[in-house]
């Protein structure tokens, strides 16, 4: 699946495996490592009656309770395979973070941002380490916060969008590194913010995620909550984009989710 794209092959790829009820956890981990993508996700029969399907989401390091682009990718794959939701226009996904609602709209799919499990200031030592690895100084960072809704994100707001774009890819190895950076565009721009997401792979190398639903969800909760942003808005991240809406007390993260490759997998 190609998720949050601005055109073919511009979004975040994710592998979705259908009919995975008989696939073991170890096999899921092995498949995820083999795809060499940031995540792979596995569709199973739901355990809760109100859910349309159950999803297990893996990155090469660990299993995740929630992730954004696997959520939209899995929903689109499930619908493409003939899935019919119990509620017209709303798909209910069961995952480690609970029940996640996904709206079906003319513009694509949008998931309801799950609650953050950690939302507090970043410790000084941890912030200093993240800044050093990203080549940032104290003058570059407006504010920082833990904005973890499952994957473990630390959020850094930089002075502006251009400073976000100017960050060079880190070359030093690191562990437990899941950092999202965000900067505002000038009023009237095509997007409200520029976002980048950095994480370490199992070998400790720092990689960059193309477009990240979970991070955009927690940034929205953080920056709408403190008044920095107002919804609706568009977020750019590398070559992709995410939309953010807010109504009925809920934040919705939307984007495209297109099937690019179909086939069978041999276990």
Residues noted as catalytic: 39
Q: What angle do CA 116, 119, 125 make, to 5 degrees?
A: 135
Beta bridge mates, 131: none
Sign of CA dihedral 246, 90, 191, 114: positive
Alpha carbons 220 and 254: distance in angstroms, whole number: 12
Asked if residues 165 and 189 have their Cβ atoms less than 8 Å apart, the reply is: no
The structure tokens 């960059």 sit at 208
Residue 217 near residue 114, CB atoms below 8 Å: yes
């Amino acid at each position: 699946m190609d998720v949050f794209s601005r055109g073919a092959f511009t979004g975040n790829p994710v592998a979705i495996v259908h009919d995975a009820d008989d696939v073991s956890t170890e096999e899921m981990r092995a498949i995820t490592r083999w795809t060499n993508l940031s995540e792979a996700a596995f569709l199973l029969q739901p355990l809760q009656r109100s859910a349309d399907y159950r999803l297990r989401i893996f990155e090469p390091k660990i299993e995740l309770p929630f992730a954004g682009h696997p959520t939209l990718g899995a929903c689109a794959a499930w619908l493409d395979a003939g899935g019919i939701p119990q509620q017209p226009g709303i798909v209910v996904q069961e995952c480690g973070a609970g029940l996640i609602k996904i709206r079906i709209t003319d513009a694509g799919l949008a998931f309801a941002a799950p609650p953050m499990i950690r939302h507090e200031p970043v410790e000084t030592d941890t912030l200093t380490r993240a800044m050093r690895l990203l080549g940032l100084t104290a003058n570059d960072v407006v504010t920082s916060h833990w904005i973890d809704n499952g994957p473990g994100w630390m959020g850094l707001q930089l002075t502006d969008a251009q400073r976000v774009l100017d960050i060079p890819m880190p070359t030093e190895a690191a562990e437990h590194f899941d950092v999202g950076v965000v900067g505002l565009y000038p009023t009237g721009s095509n997007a409200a913010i520029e976002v980048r997401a950095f994480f370490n792979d199992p070998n400790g190398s720092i990689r960059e995620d193309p477009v990240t639903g979970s991070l955009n969800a927690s940034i929205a909760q953080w920056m709408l909550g403190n008044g920095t942003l107002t919804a609706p808005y568009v977020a750019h991240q590398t070559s992709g984009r995410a939309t953010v809406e807010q109504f009925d007390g809920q934040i919705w993260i939307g984007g495209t989710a297109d099937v690019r490759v179909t086939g069978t997998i041999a276990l």
